[in-house]
Amino acid sequence: MLDFQTLLQIFWTGLANSTYAVLLAAAFALVLKVVKVWNFAQAGLMGIAYYTMYLAIQKLGWPGYAALVLGAAAAIVAALAMEVFGLQTFRRRHSPPLTFFIFTLVLSELVQYVLAMVAGTEPVSLAATIMSASYIVGGVVVSEWDLKAIAVTVVLMALLFVVMKRTRHGQYMIAAADNPHLSRLYGVNVRRVYALTFVLAAVLIAVAMYLFGTRASMVPNTPLEMMLFAVIAALLGGMGNVFGAAVAAVFLGLLRAFSILVIPSAWQSLILYALLFITILFFPQGVRVARRARKKPAANSAAAGA
């Protein structure tokens, strides 16, 4: 039963399913790196983006790309509102870290309850059917969704890389991440940089939720668990290493896919929490040994294959 074909199939499907996790991990790591906030409100943004797209596709009959634009717009508005009305206020007041933690986490829960009230707790999906046309390549089932998801993820991560490393705004982001006070002295508008970071994160989140929603369905409290996955990836990738987090997400996704072989399905959902503990216990600062060696490969693989 455990022939090469099966393993290859698990690998491919695991890889395809880790695409949205990569985007979510990158979004989380990006905010953590630049704004220095553990953005637990990401789960709320994920919920907002998802249910906006659900509304557009299933209730209003919009085409997918238009719904995606609307979902991204909703996530951007929500993220900016949180930054402008929430985080800026707390920063101005020099609130303790506790306030930021509670605020972002409770915001996610608030969104979850609002969604449960408005949309109910039945699972909803973005696509009419979660089956997509598939081909058999060398004995492995490759669906159109797989190819689309991987292509979109690779392109987005490459774009993010270019924005961060090659544009003026990206340099501002890295400067602000490194030392916000000094960058302010050099004339960088740190507030605008933070806002831009949230916009980028919101776009990543919306695309990730679109990919997820055309493959699976979710209920209002799904994002919290999905976010936990992103948090673990961000930790494993090393604090503030956006592309490290993306690579870690692929690794975790594959690990979870292959665990089906050894762990009974009733206990599957525990793997995530076990991984979290292992990460905290053994890799609190991310995978250090490989980090220096991985800096380039991480960037390359993000550009070439994630």
Partner 1 sequence: MEYVASLLVLIGLYVILASSFNLIIGFGGLISIAHPIFFALGAYTVGVLSTQFGLHPVLSIVAGFVVAMLASFMLSLPSLRISGDYLLITSIGFQLGLLEIIKNLDFVGGASGLGGIPNVVQQHRSLVFAAVALGLAVAVVLGLRALVRGPYGRAIQAMRDDELAFVALGRNAMNIKITIFAVGSGLAGVAGGLYAYYYQYLTPDQFQILQSAMILTMVVVGGMGSVYGPVVGAVLLLLLPEAITFLNLPSSVMGPLQGLIFTSLVILFLFLRPQGLVPSSKRLSAGGGHE
Q: How far is the CB of 249 from partner 1 (least distance, A)?
A: 16
Q: Report the residue number, 155 or 274, with the smaller CB distance to partner 1.
A: 274
Q: Report the residue number, 171 or 221, with the smaller CB distance to partner 1.
A: 221
Q: How far is the CB of 165 from partner 1 (least distance, A)?
A: 27
Q: How far is the CB of 55 from partner 1 (least distance, A)?
A: 18
Instruction: Kindly give the residue spans of alpha helices, DSSP state H, lying in the chain.
Output: 4-17, 19-34, 42-54, 64-81, 88-92, 97-119, 144-166, 168-178, 180-185, 190-213, 222-236, 242-259, 270-282, 289-304
Q: Report the residue number, 52 or 279, with the smaller CB distance to partner 1.
A: 279
Q: Report the residue number, 124 or 207, with the smaller CB distance to partner 1.
A: 124
For residues 10 and 16, the answer to whether their CB atoms sit within 8 Å is: no
Q: Report the residue number, 203 or 235, with the smaller CB distance to partner 1.
A: 235
Phi, psi of 212, rounded to the nearest 5 degrees = -60, -45
Q: How far is the CB of 37 from partner 1 (least distance, A)?
A: 11
Q: Which residues bind partner 1 (CB under 8 A)?
A: 38, 89-90, 93-99, 101-103, 105-107, 109-110, 112-114, 116-117, 120-121, 221, 224-225, 228, 231, 235, 266-267, 269-270, 272-274, 276-277, 280-281, 284
For residues 19 and 230, the answer to whether their CB atoms sit within 8 Å is: no
Contacts of residue 106, defined as CB under 8 A and 6 or more positions apart, other chains included, come to: none
Half-sphere exposure of 167 (CA within 13 A, CB side): 11
Q: How far is the CB of 260 from partner 1 (least distance, A)?
A: 17
Alpha-carbon span 16 to 19, nearest angstrom: 6
Question: Residue type at 225?
Answer: E
For residues 145 and 153, the answer to whether their CB atoms sit within 8 Å is: no
Alpha-carbon span 24 to 148, nearest angstrom: 17
Q: How far is the CB of 91 from partner 1 (least distance, A)?
A: 13
For residues 202 and 45, the answer to whether their CB atoms sit within 8 Å is: yes
Alpha-carbon span 205 to 146, nearest angstrom: 18
Q: Report the residue number, 9 or 259, with the smaller CB distance to partner 1.
A: 259
Q: Report the residue number, 12 or 103, with the smaller CB distance to partner 1.
A: 103
Q: How far is the CB of 133 from partner 1 (least distance, A)?
A: 35
